[in-house]
């Protein structure tokens, strides 16, 4: 790769024209060559002019530690040039300590014209590394050296330049594309619902006024059977327990009086002191009093039975409203001191430790989805999918009339409450089939107008945007059908900065100034 270094100041040309002199022809552009190399420990990015025997040349060396992609701040690099013919003893061009973090200089006279196998050796505290750079030619004259550099071309016109200095300071990382094995998957929209029976409404079992020592709040956890509040029935005629007790006592007293009168009439009839009609009237009065007593006792028993059902239990003259299930209070519609009619909803309780995930599976994938070997859920705002363990996977066997998809339902353990009732995401159902192809981390794949792409690093400061075709997503890995090849480097951190660099204008054509 090369860059051109143009240079003729415009002011000098204008001054020459003003003086009536013909301006001198512009100086020839001197191309800059760049070398990029990676080892397991370091990245080398080196810039230099064409190599001419006997000339003193400046090599601008940029060294990056691949452990954290930081700039090297110590050490001295050196270049070793071993002639392809003749002596096997290399010519060593010794470098200096870094002029600033990551930037080193090697400035030395070049050996005789020849072809050399060259390498850059890194010698730093706690680090020894070697970059084999292949074969380089040292030319006998500048004309031949420049002509050779120009034949190499300026590289891909679509290439993006993102300099080393912002890479070191803004956060940057790449990874080598490897060939790996990924599971195939089915992706479908999913919604989190309560389990069947995992939601309950506590309603007013009778008309009355709500009371509580402390009214529970939304989000509070409750146990099954826990008292949430009390409901005092309205004091209407014959409705409260005291009135019903009084009615029972009155009916019992009336029955006792009727029976006494019946006994007296029967005794007088035996003595022929009263007519038989008097006895019949007394017997009828006793039967009516007995019926009234049974009715009063039935009303009292019915009230007590009502207090024991409908979410309450008999407790003096008030309902004790109890939670029918354990969970969290999703809604509190009750207000202290307010009066409510029978059946008015007061509390809504939802079980959150176990939930149901409903996945809308396309009809064509239904058979495979039913036999899924794994499940993950992608949720907006989360950097990585949640891995879930489904249980009791089932479906109605009927397509949803609105979505024309199969609502596949599965029970999910949610003890950590990672999932929220009503939450919507994308379910990834892994099949048992596996593919072997190039894989990259999920962080390397970006989207533009629905099309996935990656940034490929083709040089130390040069990148290409490549649109890719995704074959499968498997956890943190993405399997790609096309777009990248094994051994290439893709950006996993700092991709947004590379994207901004692609839109930047006015970058200096000469690149670095060292």
Interaxial angle between packed helices 276-307 and 241-270, expressed in degrees from 0 to 180 and rounded to the nearest 10: 160
**Once rounded to an integer, what is the mean pLDDT over residues 24-34?**
70
Q: Which residue, 149, 189, 174, is CA-closest to 51?
A: 149
More confident residue, 244 or 400: 400
Give the whole-angstrom CA distance, residue 95 versus residue 120.
10
Fold of 2-155: Immunoglobulin-like (2.60.40)
Hey, what are 320's tokens?
Answer: 């004790």
Average pLDDT value over all residues in the chain:
86
**Once rounded to an integer, what is the mean pLDDT over residues 283-308?**
80
pLDDT at 484 over 50: yes
| 2-155 and 174-191+354-503 agree in CATH topology | no
Residue pair 504/193 in contact by the 8 Å Cβ criterion: no
89 CB burial (10 A radius; 0-12, 13-18, 19+): exposed
Q: Supply the pLDDT for residue 22.
A: 54
Residue 426 makes CB contacts below 8 A (sequence gap 6+) with 187, 188, 189, 190, 377, 378
Residue 147 makes CB contacts below 8 A (sequence gap 6+) with none
Query: In percent, how much of the chain has pLDDT > 90?
Result: 60
Alpha carbon 220 to its chain's center: 26
Q: Using alpha carbons only, what angle is made at residue 47 by residues 7 and 495, rounded to the nearest 5 degrees? A: 105
Residue pair 105/58 in contact by the 8 Å Cβ criterion: yes
pLDDT at 439 over 90: yes
**Once rounded to an integer, what is the mean pLDDT over residues 321-333?**
94
**Once rounded to an integer, what is the mean pLDDT over residues 38-67?**
96
Q: Supply the pLDDT for residue 118.
A: 95
User: 0.85 exceeded by the pTM?
Assistant: no
What is the domain class of 241-316 according to CATH? mainly alpha
| DSSP per residue, 426-455 | EEEEEEEEEEEEEEEEGGG-EEETTEEEEE
The tens digit of pLDDT for each residue in 87-101 reads 778 999 999 999 999
Q: What share of the chain is helix, strand, coil (3-state, %, to 5)?
A: 20, 45, 35
Confidence of residue 238 (pLDDT cuts 50, 70, 90): very low
- The beta-strand segments (E) located in 256-306 are none
Residue pair 491/461 in contact by the 8 Å Cβ criterion: no
Q: Supply the pLDDT for residue 318.
A: 78
The tens digit of pLDDT for each residue in 101-124 reads 999 999 999 999 999 999 999 999
Residue pair 480/488 in contact by the 8 Å Cβ criterion: no
CATH of segment(s) 174-191+354-503: 2.40.30.170
pLDDT at 315 over 80: no
**Once rounded to an integer, what is the mean pLDDT over residues 75-84?**
94
pLDDT at 239 over 70: no
Give the whole-angstrom CA distance, residue 361 versus residue 281.
80
Sequence ranges of the domains in the chain: 2-155, 174-191+354-503, 200-228+319-348, 241-316
The tens digit of pLDDT for each residue in 335-354 reads 999 999 999 999 999 999 99
Fold of 200-228+319-348: OB fold (Dihydrolipoamide Acetyltransferase, E2P) (2.40.50)
**Once rounded to an integer, what is the mean pLDDT over residues 305-321?**
58
Q: Supply the pLDDT for residue 373.
A: 87
In the block, residue with structure tokens 């530690």 = 65
Give the whole-angstrom CA distance, residue 180 versus residue 8.
53
More confident residue, 238 or 242: 242
């Amino acid at each position: 790769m090369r860059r051109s270094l143009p240079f003729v100041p415009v002011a000098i040309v204008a001054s020459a024209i003003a003086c009536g002199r013909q301006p001198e022809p512009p100086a020839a552009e001197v191309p800059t060559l760049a070398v990029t190399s990676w080892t397991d420990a370091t990245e080398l990015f080196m810039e230099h002019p064409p190599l001419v025997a006997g000339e003193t040349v400046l090599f601008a060396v940029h060294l990056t530690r691949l452990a954290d992609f930081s700039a090297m701040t110590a050490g001295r690099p050196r270049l070793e040039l071993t002639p392809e013919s003749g002596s096997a003893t290399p010519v060593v061009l010794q470098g200096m300590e870094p002029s600033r973090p990551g930037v080193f200089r090697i400035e030395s006279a070049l050996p005789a014209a020849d072809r050399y196998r060259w390498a850059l050796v890194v010698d730093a505290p706690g680090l020894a590394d070697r970059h084999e750079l292949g074969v380089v030619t040292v030319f006998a004259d500048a004309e031949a050296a420049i002509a050779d550099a120009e034949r190499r071309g300026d590289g891909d016109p679509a290439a993006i330049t993102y300099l080393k200095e912002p890479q070191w300071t803004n956060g940057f990382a790449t990874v080598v594309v490897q060939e790996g094995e990924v599971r195939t998957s089915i992706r479908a929209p999913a919604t989190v619902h309560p389990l069947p029976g995992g939601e309950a409404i506590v309603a007013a079992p009778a008309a009355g006024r709500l009371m509580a020592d402390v009214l529970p709040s939304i989000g509070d956890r409750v146990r099954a059977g826990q008292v949430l509040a009390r409901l005092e029935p309205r004091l209407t005629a014959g409705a409260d327990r005291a009135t019903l007790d009084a009615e029972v006592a009155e009916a019992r007293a009336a029955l006792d009086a009727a029976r006494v009168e019946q006994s007296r009439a029967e005794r007088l009839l035996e003595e022929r002191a009263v007519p038989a009609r008097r006895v019949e009237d007394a017997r009828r009065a006793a039967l009516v009093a007995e019926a009234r007593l049974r009715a009063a006792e039935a009303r009292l028993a019915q009230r007590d039975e009502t207090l024991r059902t409908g979410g309450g239990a008999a407790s003096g003259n008030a309902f004790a409203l109890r939670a029918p299930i354990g969970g969290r209070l999703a809604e509190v519609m009750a207000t202290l001191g307010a009066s409510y009619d029978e059946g008015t909803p007061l509390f809504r309780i939802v079980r959150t430790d176990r939930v149901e995930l409903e996945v809308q599976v396309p009809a064509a994938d239904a058979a495979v989805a039913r036999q899924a070997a794994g499940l993950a859920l992608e949720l907006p705002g989360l950097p990585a999918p949640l891995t879930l363990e489904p249980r009791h996977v089932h479906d109605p066997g009927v397509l949803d009339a609105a979505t024309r998809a199969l609502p596949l339902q599965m029970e999910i353990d949610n003890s950590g409450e990672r999932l929220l009732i009503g939450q919507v995401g994308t379910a990834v159902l892994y099949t048992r089939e596996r593919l072997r192809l190039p894989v990259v981390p999920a962080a390397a794949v970006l989207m533009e107008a629905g099309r996935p792409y990656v940034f490929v690093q083709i040089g130390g400061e040069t990148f290409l945007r490549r649109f890719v075709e995704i074959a499968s997503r498997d956890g943190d890995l993405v399997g790609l059908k096309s777009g990248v090849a094994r051994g290439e480097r893709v950006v996993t951190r700092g991709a947004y900065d590379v994207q901004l660099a692609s839109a930047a204008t006015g970058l200096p054509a000469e690149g670095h100034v060292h």
